[in-house]
């Protein structure tokens, strides 16, 4: 998915031209995978561009850093403001937003304590992550031969750059085998999540999703989709899910910022339910999409508007 350049990138407190947002080849995090990042989206709404759950994302960035003992040299409020400034600078009605905090140039070696922490925020237009048809028709999934990493190996609760080696191994394996995305089991053998999405399984009208202890990232969209489903009157249960439950599921769907809410219609060549997105998925997906785009009063507080200054004639 090629990146489309926009005007400016926020780097350590300044908006710099896109092509000047460069780092040294000896940047610490490039070598050891110790960066923390976020994936956020701004949506076009009737109040202009609005960022979905911005403060929640920035707070998760700080939590990711905290797990790594990385001190981000800004406050949550400062990075919330910086994100809005960057979105505004692109002039786009909607975009994907990528903040990252990483150990910069100057130190080498595995002791990160003396390292400086650099922060940047970039935005660009980014379409449906799992393809144009994924949201409407659903995707085909494969259970990965790679296990999701364990809490005591690489904490999955921290959105650490190095964690995505694990995700990429699974993603490429699934794509090469002819599937759209991978489902990862944790070292205990239970369903964990996908390479960049949380997973939900529907059986007999009840929605199940793996708990925090199942080696998942605490997805912001997972939280939102749980609340929306409960508000619609569905029972949502967080519990371990066994592999065979995926083969017997009536419906399966995934949530994530990049992918949004995507139905899964096949796992390991087993059709999920009727082989088409089911009714529960469709109901939650519709309400979720309305929430993202500010069409539901109840969830409007999840959207942080980025007022665009009026053009001077
Ligand atoms: C591994 C992983 N799990 C789950 C998610 C979903 O998280 P969110 O809904 O906050 O985008 C993501 C995406 O950030 C992810 O990378």
- The verdict on the CB of residue 222 being under 6 Å from ligand 1 is yes
Residue 283 burial (CB < 10 Å; 0-12/13-18/19+)?
middle
Q: What are the catalytic residues?
A: 159
- The verdict on the CB of residue 29 being under 6 Å from ligand 1 is no
Return the pLDDT at 122.
Answer: 98
Return the pLDDT at 209.
Answer: 98
pTM of the predicted model, to two decimals? 0.97
Q: How confident is the chain (313 residues) per 10-residue block, as mean pLDDT?
A: 94 98 98 98 95 98 98 98 97 96 97 97 92 92 97 97 98 98 98 98 98 98 98 98 98 97 98 97 98 96 87 56
Cα of 309 from ligand 1 centre, angstroms: 32
Return the pLDDT at 310.
Answer: 60
- The verdict on the CB of residue 281 being under 6 Å from ligand 1 is no
């Amino acid at each position: 998915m090629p990146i489309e350049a926009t005007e400016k990138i926020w780097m350590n407190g300044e908006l710099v031209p896109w092509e000047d947002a460069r780092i040294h080849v000896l940047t610490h995090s490039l070598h050891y995978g110790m960066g923390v990042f976020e994936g956020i989206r701004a949506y076009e709404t009737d109040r202009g561009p609005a960022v979905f759950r911005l403060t929640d994302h920035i707070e998760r960035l700080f939590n990711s850093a905290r797990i790594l003992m990385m001190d981000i040299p800004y406050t949550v409020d400062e990075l919330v403001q910086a994100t809005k400034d960057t979105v505004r600078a692109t002039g786009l009605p909607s975009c994907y937003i990528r903040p990252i905090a990483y150990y910069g140039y100057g130190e080498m070696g595995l002791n990160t304590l003396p390292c400086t922490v650099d922060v940047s925020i970039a935005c660009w237009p980014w379409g449906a992550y799992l393809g144009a048809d994924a949201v409407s028709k659903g995707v085909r999934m494969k259970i990965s031969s790679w296990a999701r990493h364990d809490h005591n190996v690489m904490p999955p609760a921290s959105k650490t750059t190095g964690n995505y080696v694990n995700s990429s191994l699974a993603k490429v394996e699934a794509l090469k085998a002819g599937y759209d995305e991978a489902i990862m089991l944790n070292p205990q053998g239970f369903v964990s999540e996908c390479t960049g999405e949380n997973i939900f399984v529907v059986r007999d009208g009840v929605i199940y999703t793996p708990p925090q202890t199942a080696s998942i990232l605490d997805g912001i969209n997972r939280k939102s989709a749980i609340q929306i489903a409960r508000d619609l009157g569905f029972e949502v249960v967080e519990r371990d899910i066994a592999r065979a439950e995926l083969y017997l599921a009536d419906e399966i769907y995934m949530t994530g910022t990049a992918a949004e809410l995507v139905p899964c219609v096949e796992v390991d060549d087993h059709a999920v339910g009727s082989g088409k997105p089911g009714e529960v998925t469709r109901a939650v997906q519709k309400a979720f999409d309305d929430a993202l785009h500010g069409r539901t009063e109840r969830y409007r507080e999840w959207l942080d508007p980025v007022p665009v200054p009026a053009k001077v004639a």
